[in-house]
Amino acid sequence: MLGDALVAFLSSRRAHDDARIDAWRFELATADRVRIGMRGGELGGPYGAPSAASRLGGSVELRWSDGRTTRATLTRESLGCSPTQMAAWRAEAIEVEHRATVAPPAECPIVQMYDARVAEAVHGSPDRLLDLVSGLGAGLLALGTERPDVAVVAGAGRRRVVTSAGFDLAWEETTFGLDASAEDLYAASFATRRHPSDGEIEQLADDVAETVRLLRRAESPPIGASGVLFDPTVVDALLARFFATNLNGRSIERGASRFSPDDVARQAVVMRPDLYLTIDTTLPFELATSPCSGEGVPGGRVALVAGGRLMTPILNCEQAARMGLAPTPVARGRPSLILASSAPPLDRDAALAQLHDGVLVRGLMGLHTQPARRGDVASVAAGAQVVRGGRLAGRTDVLLRFNVFDLLGSEGTAPVRFPASITPGRLAETGVEVRSA
């Protein structure tokens, strides 16, 4: 089994110099991945050559009897478990105070993260994926687009998390990403752990073709437009930038977060009372899904914010022990945070009608440079889509200014359900300054 030799090696309580390994944990994964791409309607090429990757690696933490700790990556070479490797690990040890023990055995949820069809596409002939990319590219051309870009990335592998305290869990996992765009105007994606159905692929192509058709025409934003509909990918990016950063337990403890330890203790109001912010690693076939974290924290669904109140920071084992709270599950991909509302979401068309005149925003440039603690955003939404009279129209570049925390604390926003998205978008009728860029 994957990692057995390493388990045996570490379990033997090996010594080096005057110290021996008292406790340890590791995460080890093996994965194969295939990527096929088309750029501007042309398959492959030197920059987009079809590619295959094979990897074996992970991370290890060793706690030595003299109070030192080693944290290192696992590679094919280090898995040889040689005396030289032990010396190398020992040489990288430093004194670190630990308040948490390595994870003991725990019950982890059974989650869906393996699709045999994806594994077959990865390990078998590349023809299936080549056909998918060629077919989708041809389909986009047939739907009237020019210069289509298509990329598929499929991966399959095994992962194992083990600790010296008896936690030991192994599983198989797959990933599947399909991106389609055309004319550098609009891109749509399917990114999960399962193969898309034929219907989902058709839906993706139709979405790209219809949106590109509208976006070919450059327009000015409607005069006086002040409302914005944020696409789910933008909402996810805003949550990752502004909430994941500020909800990090270590940042809160050392005063580097917008939120303080006192905010945590008194469950401070941080959003509107109908809003819930959760980590959920049990969603079927989502990239976030996993039975446990690399430390052995069981997966699950945890509310970081419930009814608008701060319930818990994001905590690894060590930080959880420092703050006297339970560690939180770790999402391994999107959606890393989910913003939900007790109010029913609007359908996208209803949201467009309610917005009437405004813009649909699908991306914000330089979001990673915006001040996370303050929550201010002043950014260009290039390639946004005009909404005029409740209907989608042409493309426009707008400069947006708003404060994320103010938006989520105000009554002027509402959740919006988008087709083919597990996370909602958000309609902001007030609180966003829109200016032609």
- What is the C-alpha to C-alpha distance for residues 204 and 272, in angstroms, rounded to an integer? 34
Nearby residues of 90 by Cβ (< 8 Å), 6 or more positions away: 16, 17, 19, 64, 70
Nearer to another protein, 105 or 371 (CB): 371
Binding segment for another protein among 4-12, 127-135, 332-340, 422-430 (CB under 8 A)?
A: 127-135
User: x/- string (CB under 8 A) for another protein, residues 260-299?
Assistant: x---------------------------------------
The one among 1, 18, 47, 110 contacting another protein by CB under 8 A: 47
The one among 55, 216, 322, 356 contacting another protein by CB under 8 A: 55
Nearer to another protein, 43 or 165 (CB): 43
We find the least distance from the C-beta atom of residue 50 to another protein, in angstroms, to be 4
Angle between helices 198-215 and 127-142 (to 10 degrees): 40
We find the least distance from the C-beta atom of residue 278 to another protein, in angstroms, to be 25
We find the least distance from the C-beta atom of residue 292 to another protein, in angstroms, to be 21
We find the least distance from the C-beta atom of residue 353 to another protein, in angstroms, to be 28
DSSP 13-40: --EETTEEEEEEEEEEEEEEEEEEEEET
| Residue 71 interacting with another protein (CB under 8 A) | yes
Q: How many CA atoms lie within 13 A of 433 on its CB side?
A: 10
- What is the C-alpha to C-alpha distance for residues 342 and 324, in angstroms, rounded to an integer? 29
The one among 13, 45, 144, 347 contacting another protein by CB under 8 A: 45
Give the angle 285-286-291 at the CA atoms, nearest 5°. Answer: 75
**Binders of another protein among 361-420, rule CB under 8 A?**
365-366, 368-371, 373-374, 376-380, 382-383, 397, 399, 401-403, 406
**Token pair for residue 215?**
């976006």
- Between strands 358-361 and 227-230, the pairing is parallel
- Between strands 338-341 and 346-347, the pairing is unpaired
Give the residue from 38, 37, 192, 30 showing the smallest Cα distance to 118. 192
- What is the C-alpha to C-alpha distance for residues 70 and 91, in angstroms, rounded to an integer? 8
Residue ranges of the alpha helices (H) in 77-224?
83-91, 116-123, 127-142, 198-215
| Residue 99 interacting with another protein (CB under 8 A) | no
Q: What is the DSSP letter of 241?
A: I
Taking the CB of residue 332, how many other CB atoms lie within 10 A of it? 20
We find the least distance from the C-beta atom of residue 44 to another protein, in angstroms, to be 3
Q: How many CA atoms lie within 13 A of 291 on its CB side?
A: 22
**Binders of another protein among 311-340, rule CB under 8 A?**
none
- What is the C-alpha to C-alpha distance for residues 154 and 174, in angstroms, rounded to an integer? 7
Q: Site size for another protein, by CB under 8 A?
A: 70
**Token pair for residue 357?**
């005149």
Q: What 3-state DSSP class applies to 169? A: strand
Nearer to another protein, 138 or 353 (CB): 138
Q: How many CA atoms lie within 13 A of 7 on its CB side?
A: 17
We find the least distance from the C-beta atom of residue 345 to another protein, in angstroms, to be 26
The one among 17, 146, 172, 184 contacting another protein by CB under 8 A: 184
| Residue 51 interacting with another protein (CB under 8 A) | yes
Binding segment for another protein among 7-15, 72-80, 194-202, 232-240 (CB under 8 A)?
A: 72-80
| Residue 57 interacting with another protein (CB under 8 A) | yes
- 342 φ, ψ (degrees, to nearest 5): -75, -15
Binding segment for another protein among 52-60, 197-205, 214-222, 410-418 (CB under 8 A)?
A: 52-60
Nearer to another protein, 142 or 343 (CB): 142
- Judge contact between 37 and 133, C-beta under 8 A: yes
Nearer to another protein, 94 or 223 (CB): 94
We find the least distance from the C-beta atom of residue 254 to another protein, in angstroms, to be 5
Binding segment for another protein among 91-99, 191-199, 231-239, 344-352 (CB under 8 A)?
A: 91-99
We find the least distance from the C-beta atom of residue 101 to another protein, in angstroms, to be 18
Binding site for another protein (CB under 8 A): 36, 42-57, 69-73, 75-78, 91-97, 125-127, 130, 134, 184, 250, 254-258, 260, 365-366, 368-371, 373-374, 376-380, 382-383, 397, 399, 401-403, 406, 433, 435, 437
